[in-house]
Amino acid sequence: MSNGLRRLICCLITFVALACAAVRAQGQRAGQGQAQAAKPDSPQVLADIEKAKALAGTTWALEEHVICDLPSISPAVDPGPQKLFDNLYAIPGAYSAGSGVIYLITTTAGIIQIDSGLQKDVETVYLPGMKKLGFDPANVKIVIITHGHADHFGGAPYLQQHYSPHVYMSASDWDFMQLAPPPAQGQPAIPPKVDMFVSDGQPIVLGDEKVTPVLIPGHTPGSLGLIFPVKDGGKSHTVGIVGGGMLPQGSPDQMRVFLHSLDHFEEWTKKMKVDVELQNHPIMDGFAGKLTALRARKSGDPNPFVVGQENYSRFVEVMHQCVQVYIDRRLQ
């Protein structure tokens, strides 16, 4: 793809993402389904949905429903901070469409944090979560921002002021966040200072841990997928996070960019043998149920977040198919 074409696609995505954010800022967001056409689905769309359902099976039925049907999503109850793997922890907050999960990866040289949540949640969700898990926020050395919306970067300036972690993200989403309007919550979204712009496939290294970022433009121009190893009772697994999995409400052409990103991400996840599925907005993958199962887990039981390589690919493919549903709905 030429640089000119890439820039054009980037601008188009930026435009639609800004339009989306403006709608949210007006308090009109009641879920993902705002732009959904009122007219009945065409035979083509119905066939697309059937294909998504077949791909989803029972394992990813919720994902198919959330992404293909675009229901309104209400804030969920905070399940509390939780250790997921030997070296991975989650601080969920109210993990709805408007507030994501912060993940902490422990390494031999400190903590890598994924996303920083909303600025308003730092003192009420993030810091108490760190304390409950037994961590010192000063031990966070790197914060990776998955994309340039305030529910992912809003808390980062506070962390930089108080604890001086390095912030890593994509260059195109740093540009994007300079333009983005305040979030619907009414808080001014102050962008963090960025210490490093990440590149597609170039690992972020801290101590004995490597996180591989994959550029997946779609939800925003520079959204990141993340892939990294974890251990469960000493056994190795690999996590995949689609760090911008909520559908952008763009034109069919813009959504085709997201389709391409999902293909690109799936290639990476296959190459790196991803077998653990996590989301930064875990509203489509049974997160709450898995947390409950993990808390009740007995010695020898499987870790509910390990889905296997084939199921992980199907998770990405269901998302891909639901983007196709969205495109065909817009074209009908």
Q: Nearest distance from residue 138's CB to Zn ion, in Å? A: 28
Q: Could you give the 3-state DSSP secondary structure of residue 230?
A: strand
* Alpha carbon 292 to its chain's center: 21
Pick 165 or 244: Cβ nearer Zn ion? 244
Residue 41 or 175 with smaller CB distance to Zn ion: 175
In whole angstroms, the minimum distance from the beta carbon of 207 to Zn ion comes to: 29
Contact, 70 vs 36, CB < 8 A? yes
Smaller CB distance to Zn ion: residue 118 or 316? 118
* Dihedral angle sign, alpha carbons of residues 72, 220, 183, 113: positive
Q: Report the nearest approach of Zn ion to the CB of residue 7 (Å).
A: 22
Q: Which is nearer to Zn ion, 26 or 164 (CB)?
A: 26
E runs forming strands in the chain: 82-85, 88-91, 102-107, 110-114, 140-144, 166-169, 196-197, 204-206, 209-215, 224-232, 235-242, 276-279
What is the three-class DSSP state of 271?
Answer: helix
Which residue has the closest beta carbon to Zn ion? 149
Which of 149/329 has CB closer to Zn ion? Answer: 149
CB of 231 to Zn ion, least distance (A): 30
**Nearest CB to Zn ion, comparing residues 149 and 237:** 149
> Residue 161: CB partners within 8 Å, gap ≥ 6?
none
Residue 215 in contact with residue 170, Cβ under 8 Å?
A: yes
Rounded Cα distance between 277 and 239, Å, is: 6
Identify the burial level of 58 via C-beta atoms within 10 angstroms of its C-beta, where 0-12 means exposed, 13-18 middle and 19 or more buried.
exposed
Residue number with CB closer to Zn ion (81 or 98): 98
Task: Give CA torsion, residues 69, 325, 317, 223, to 10 deg.
Answer: -80
User: By the criterion CB under 5 A, which residues form the site for Zn ion?
Assistant: 149
Tell me the torsion sign for CA atoms 212, 243, 183, 159. negative
Q: Closer CB to Zn ion, residue 137 or residue 213?
A: 213
Nearest to 283 by CA among 80, 44, 32: 32
DSSP H or E stretch at residue 270: helix 252-271
Q: How far is the CB of 246 from Zn ion (least distance, A)?
A: 6
